[in-house]
């Protein structure tokens, strides 16, 4: 990455962090893009060059997260199953870092209490499901129909999502992946 791209990436991250902090402190609807631009020392048009909508200020890493999700499957080491690669990928997320628990809780509260952000988050999640389903069809040893791949992708992403709210998120993630991998025993 060249110096110019590096500077753009740092500016983008700074703006997103600033905006997310303001949203968590004051509330999403109480913060304007003009206020964010002013505090970030950029113009409003410049802010929208970095972020096409107010929602994307919060979800600044959505494309990178999708790329990493797919890479966890496509770039896994020989002999590593898709589920094991995804389990390793998800277990490295900040949500499982106990030292970040308060920040993660505040971020989740922001998303769940802001309808615009909640809807946007659901749209991202649906996109991730579709991308993962396509990747599963391409990478699995056994042929999967589209509906099967979509259901498996849904279960995998839902396991990650649900585990984040558990008392012991990491243990929950491993337990849910164990059910996906080995089936549910009555």
Give pLDDT tens digits for 20-31.
999 999 999 999
Residue 1 has pLDDT above 80, yes or no: no
As a whole number of angstroms, the distance between CA 87 and CA 152 comes to 14
User: What are the boundaries of each domain within the chain?
Assistant: 3-58, 62-182
pLDDT digits (tens, 9 = 90+) for 108-152: 999 999 999 999 999 999 999 999 999 999 999 889 999 999 999
pLDDT of 178 strictly over 80: yes
DSSP letter, residue 146: H
Q: Is the pLDDT at 166 greater than 90, yes or no?
A: no
Helices (H), ranges, the chain: 3-26, 33-40, 44-50, 54-58, 62-74, 82-91, 101-112, 115-139, 146-163, 169-182
Give the chain's mean pLDDT: 93
Domain 3-58 architecture: Orthogonal Bundle (1.10)
Nearest to 101 by CA among 158, 166, 50, 46: 166
**pLDDT-based confidence at residue 50 (cuts at 50, 70, 90):** very high
Could you please state the CATH topology (level 3) that the domain comprising 62-182 is classified under.
Answer: Tetracycline Repressor; domain 2 (1.10.357)
Alpha-carbon separation of residue 20 from 41, 99, 112, 138, 186 (angstroms)? 16, 19, 14, 36, 44
Please give the pLDDT value at position 152.
96
Burial 125-162 (b: 16+ CB within 10 A, else e): beebbebbbebbbeeeeeebeeeebbebbeebbebbee
The answer, yes or no, to whether residue 164 has pLDDT greater than 90, is no
pLDDT at 2 over 80: yes
Pairwise CA distance, residues 31 & 57, whole Å: 12
- pLDDT-derived band at 185 (thresholds 50, 70, 90) equals confident
């Amino acid at each position: 990455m060249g110096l110019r791209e590096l500077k753009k990436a740092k500016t983008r991250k700074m703006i997103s962090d600033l905006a997310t902090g303001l949203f968590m402190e004051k509330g999403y609807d109480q913060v304007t893009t003009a206020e964010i631009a002013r505090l970030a020392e950029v113009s409003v048009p410049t802010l929208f060059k970095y972020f096409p909508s107010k929602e994307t200020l919060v979800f600044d890493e959505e494309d990178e997260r999708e790329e990493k999700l797919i890479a966890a499957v496509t770039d896994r080491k020989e002999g590593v199953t898709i589920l094991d690669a995804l389990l390793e990928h998800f277990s490295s997320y900040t949500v499982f870092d106990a030292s970040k628990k308060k920040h993660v809780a505040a971020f989740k509260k922001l998303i769940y209490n802001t309808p615009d952000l909640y809807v946007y988050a659901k749209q991202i999640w649906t996109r991730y499901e579709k991308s993962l389903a396509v990747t599963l069809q391409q990478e699995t040893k056994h042929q999967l129909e589209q509906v099967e791949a979509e259901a498996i992708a849904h279960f995998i992403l839902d396991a990650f999502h649900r585990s984040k709210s558990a008392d012991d998120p990491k243990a929950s993630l491993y337990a849910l992946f164990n059910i996906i991998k080995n089936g549910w025993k009555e």
